[in-house]
Every structure is written in C-alpha cells, then in structure tokens.
C-alpha cells in the first residue's frame, strides 16, 4: 500500500542513529523544505487572502476549523489578529475538535467526531469565510464542517498536505501544500505543522494589507494595550508623519490610541476630519494622507 506523503519516511531519517547536531540539522532541513513548499501555491494563498479580506470588510466573520496540531496552528494565527490588525475578536471564531486544550491533554479521538463538526456548521453564515485545515486532508471533524458549509453558502478555504483529498475537494480555494515526508514519520506537528502555520500567517497578513491595516510594512491598526505596543504605536506615527515622539504621543492621545487617525492628526487633520478621511477611503491610510495633503495644498 502506498502511504500518503504525510505518513511516509523521508530519506536519511534514522534520527535515533545520528548524533545530536546531525539529527537536529536533519530536522531543520525538513522544516525548511516544508516552508519552501508554499512557493508553488502563492496564487491560492492570494485568493484565500482576498476571500478573508472581503468577509471582514463586510459583515462576515473569519472561522477556523481543525483538529489536533492543525487546530493549534489555527489558534496561534487567530489569537494574534485582534492585536495585530485591530480586528474585533467577535469577528474571529476558532472551532477545534474537543475544544482548545488548557493543559497538555489533547485527546486524539475528538478528530473523528463528525457530529461535533455538523454542530459547527449550524453556526456558519453565508457572509463568513471558513478556513479548514488538516495535514492529511482526510480528518473527519474539519471535513464534515467543510462539506456542510457549502450548503450554507459559506466560502471555504482548505489547507492540506496531500493532494486529491476530501477536504480539498470541498473548498472554494484549495491549498495543497505538498510538504516532504517528515523527519519523524507521521509527526505532522513538525514540517506539515510549520507549513500550515506559515500558510495561515501569510493569508492573514496579506488580508490585513488588503484591508488597509499595513502601511510601509508597519501595523497601523494595532491595538496598543501594553507599554511595548504603546511605544510601537508612537514610533509608527512618528515614522509615517516625520513628527517628534512627543508630537506623535500627543496625536495618539487625541485619536484615542488609533494609529491611523493619529497619523492624520499629526499631519494636520482635526480628529473628526481624520476619521472622515479614513471612512471615505475604506480605512486605507495612504490615500487618506494623500487627500489630506491635497486639501492643505488647495
């Protein structure tokens, strides 16, 4: 029987026969190769990001569904989006088989629970976008969700590491990340997990760019809820506008901590006018700044 790639042994994989540095180097090689496997699917990643951005720009939600280590990768991405891009937490849902673990216990049998998957389907709306993950592409829990989501009109992004699998077949955007066999056969928390996390990071970051939350490589819609992030917000405003740190901090105070508004305020707009400019330009800072400069030059 031919095993799927995620279950196969990679060449030179006798890790237990290698000394420590050699074994670690071999594992690193497989991890790097796994990330490189994302390059052939950049078109699909872009299509997925556009679906996510479209849902979040409207009234929809971003819903992640997965089991096991794939679920942990989804959790890592989902939990960062409110702080990084200022996306309201109620617009992001994570549905992990068996629930999110609060300790080291993650029962394996929950990934087979199709009934729980069908319960998730009942939560979905037509304006949502669903990202389902499974390294194998055959895990019952996310597959049941993907198959049921179509009937509700929910757009589906599927990420799997084996081609021709049920999860990919159910998707509007199917992303087959053909990672190499694992250094530890079948341990998809390693190479496949790394590739899935990278794929999610790429999709969500590109979606953030499309939503206007990135300006010159900076997070202009971050939520500055600790000292480090308040300092970062001040630095962003100063970098974008060329004002002093003190002036940037004052603009942030006038903007209620909102970085985009603060950039416009630091550039000469009143707080109400700053918000009006952003609303007129779909929350994108660059055209808002351009419009402000044109007003000032008129």
Q: Compute φ and ψ for 128, nearest 5 degrees.
A: -80, 160
Span 214-297 CATH architecture: Orthogonal Bundle (1.10)
HSE-up of residue 212 (Cα within 13 Å, Cβ side) = 18
256-290 pLDDT, tens per residue?
Answer: 999 999 999 999 999 999 999 999 999 999 999 99
State whether residue 13 is helix, strand or coil: coil
Measure the CA–CA gap between 183 and 265, rounded to whole angstroms.
53
Q: Is 80 a catalytic residue?
A: yes
Domain parsing of the chain, residue ranges: 5-210, 214-297
135-193 pLDDT, tens per residue?
Answer: 999 999 999 999 999 989 999 999 999 999 999 999 999 999 999 988 888 788 889 99
Task: Write the DSSP assignment of 146-203 as a string of letters.
Answer: HHHHGGGT-EEEEEESSTT-HHHHT-SEEEE--PPPPSSTT-TTTHHHHHHHHHHHHH
Whether 262 and 243 have beta carbons less than 8 Å apart is answered as no
- pLDDT of 15: 87
Q: Which of 46, 80, 123, 178 is catalytic?
A: 80
Residues ≥6 apart with Cβ < 8 Å to 146: 65, 130, 132, 156, 158, 167, 170, 171
Beta-strand relationship, 92-96 and 129-134: unpaired
77-118 pLDDT, tens per residue?
Answer: 999 999 999 999 999 999 999 988 888 887 878 888 999 999
Band (pLDDT 50/70/90 cuts) for residue 130 is very high
Whether 141 and 132 have beta carbons less than 8 Å apart is answered as no
Closest CA to 101 of 69, 64, 140, 135: 69
Q: Is 111 a catalytic residue?
A: yes
Rounded to an integer, the average pLDDT of 18-27 is: 92
User: Burial, 225: exposed, middle or buried (Cβ in 10 Å; 0-12, 13-18, 19+)?
Assistant: exposed
Measure the CA–CA gap between 247 and 73, rounded to whole angstroms.
40
- pLDDT of 5: 76
User: Burial, 10: exposed, middle or buried (Cβ in 10 Å; 0-12, 13-18, 19+)?
Assistant: middle
Q: What is the pTM of this model?
A: 0.94
- pLDDT of 54: 97
59-81 pLDDT, tens per residue?
Answer: 999 999 999 999 999 999 999 99
**pLDDT above 70 (res 11):** no
Q: Which of 111, 115, 147, 272 is catalytic?
A: 111
- CATH fold for domain 5-210: Rossmann fold (3.40.50)
- pLDDT of 114: 93
Across all residues in the chain, what is the average pLDDT? 93
Band (pLDDT 50/70/90 cuts) for residue 1 is low
Whether 56 and 206 have beta carbons less than 8 Å apart is answered as no
- pLDDT of 118: 94
Task: Write the DSSP assignment of 82-99 as a string of letters.
Answer: HHHH---GGGEEEEETT-
Rounded to an integer, the average pLDDT of 200-209 is: 98
Measure the CA–CA gap between 2 and 137, rounded to whole angstroms.
16
């Amino acid at each position: 029987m031919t095993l799927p790639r995620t279950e196969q042994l990679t060449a030179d994989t006798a890790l237990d026969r290698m000394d420590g540095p050699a074994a670690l180097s071999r594992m690193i090689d497989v991890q790097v190769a796994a990330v490189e496997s994302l390059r052939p699917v950049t078109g699909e990643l872009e299509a997925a990001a556009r679906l996510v951005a479209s849902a979040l720009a409207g009234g929809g939600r971003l819903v992640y569904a997965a089991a096991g280590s794939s679920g942990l990768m989804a959790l890592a991405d989902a939990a960062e989006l409110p702080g990084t891009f200022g996306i309201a937490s109620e617009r992001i849902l994570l549905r992990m088989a068996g629930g999110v673990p609060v300790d080291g216990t993650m029962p394996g049998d929950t990934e087979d629970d199709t009934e729980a998957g069908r319960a998730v389907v009942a939560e979905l709306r037509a304006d949502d976008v669903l990202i389902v993950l499974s390294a194998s592409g055959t895990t019952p829990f996310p597959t049941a969700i993907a198959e049921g989501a179509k009937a509700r009109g929910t757009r589906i992004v599927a990420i799997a590491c084996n081609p021709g699998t049920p999860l990919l077949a159910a998707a509007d955007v199917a992303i087959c990340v053909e990672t190499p066999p694992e250094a530890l056969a079948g341990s998809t928390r390693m190479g496949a997990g790394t590739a899935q996390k990278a794929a999610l990071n790429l999709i969500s970051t590109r979606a953030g760019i499309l939503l206007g939350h990135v300006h010159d490589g900076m997070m202009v819609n971050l939520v500055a809820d600790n000292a480090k992030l308040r300092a970062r917000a001040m630095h962003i405003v100063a970098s974008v506008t060329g004002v002093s740190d003190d002036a940037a901090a004052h603009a942030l105070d006038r903007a209620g901590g909102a970085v985009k508004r603060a950039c416009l305020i630091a550039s000469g707009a009143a707080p109400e006018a700053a918000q009006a400019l952003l609303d007129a330009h779909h929350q994108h800072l660059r055209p808002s700044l351009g419009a402000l400069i044109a007003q000032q030059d008129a």
